[in-house]
Structure 1
Amino acid sequence: MKRIKIDRSKCISCLTCVTACSVAHNGEDPRNRVVVSEGGVNTPIFCRQCDLPECVFTCMTGAMTKDPQTGYVTYDQKKCASCFMCIMACPYGVLKADKLQHKIIMKCDMCMDHPDQTPQCVAKCPMQAITLEEVAQPALIAARGGTL
């Protein structure tokens, strides 16, 4: 499984990752953001594609699922009831509703529909603070045949 990794010490809060996300999704709200703590620490916020995703467990309609092949948490807008349980359940505060309709969940899709099939936040980061790295599949998920 591949996951986005962040080296906060390299991040300069240039917001190139946020802009790249928005451009990759045809001008929609970005699925990521950068916050600066009181101490001045730059912190890019991305979906962690959790091993045991609370957003999936709380989704009543099956709009949020975990793909057993990629390990990515996926979102199906057509199944979404806009109850926002996934937003409330995310322990990292990553998920959010879109700013215009307040019906669509802004969820990282790892740019799977992009021609490069590479997260554009990773591809465009000028400081290489954001990388895509291979990680081992957790034993719990592997024991269940790749499913939750």
Structure 2
Amino acid sequence: MARKTIFIDFSKCIECRACEVACEREHNGKSFINVFEWQEMAAMALNCRHCETAPCVEVCPTNALYRDKDGAVILAPQRCIGCLMCGIVCPFGIPELDLINKVMGKCDLCAQRRAEGKEPACAATCPTDALIFGDFDEIQRKRREKFTERAIEVAKKAEKISLLGV
């Protein structure tokens, strides 16, 4: 099964928070992605990584967390007992307790939008393509290709400069 996820290119994030607003629009006023400024140098969007080996899924005593056909970690609120275990074991601290309903909440990669063949709202809205939705292995392959192309360009420029005796 191809694991679809949102890849975050921190170098492209301009801290506009369009992803947060799009997520709020899709989830009745609750954003499951948050943008943080890191040491006044870089902006970082933080959301559920839908981990390959998701500790939240493993620890859930009621199996309220499961994977859908795209590999996204989904929460079934009717099964959740609000024990907080998923939030405790998540390395990113993503699942949060909904204090009104007493169940956990987390990103579902916009399950309804994906069922319609659309990207999650945060990725579709990002003006700089800092958020990319797709198959994790394919995203990584494309990034390696871009890096290799840039490295070859730099090497060619360096060779030309060397030939000129500069």
The two structures, once aligned, show a CA RMSD in angstroms of 1.8
How is 1:13-52 mapped onto 2 (pairs within 5 angstroms)?
A: 13-27=15-29, 29-52=30-53
Equivalent pairs counted in the alignment come to 134
Using the TM superposition, give the Cα deviation of residue 120 of structure 1 relative to its aligned residue in structure 2, in angstroms: 0.1
Aligned to 1:113: 112
Q: 1:82 corresponds to which residue?
A: 82
| Runs of 5+ consecutive residues of structure 1 not aligned to the other structure | 137-148
What corresponds to 2:155 in structure 1? Answer: none
Question: Normalising to structure 1: TM-score of the pair?
Answer: 0.82
d(CA) in 2 for partners of 1:135 and 1:123? 17
Q: 116-125 or 54-63: which moved more?
A: 116-125
1:92 aligns with 2:88: no
Following the alignment from structure 1 to structure 2, what is the Cα–Cα distance between the partners of residues 105 and 116? 26
Q: Which secondary structure state, in structure 1, belongs to the residue aligned with residue 56 of structure 2?
A: helix
Aligned-pair distance for 1:39? Answer: 4.3
What fraction of aligned residue pairs are identical, expressed as a percent? 35
Q: Is the 8 A contact 1:30 1:106 kept in 2?
A: no
TM-score, normalised relative to structure 2: 0.74
Match of 1:125 in 2: 126
- Greater relative contact order (Cα < 8 A, sep 6+): 1
Query: Which of 1 and 2 has greater Rg?
Result: 2
Q: CA deviation at 1:71?
A: 1.1
Mapped contact 2:7–2:136 kept (Cα < 8 A): no
Structure 1 SS opposite 2:134: strand
CA distance in 2, matches of 1:51, 1:40: 30
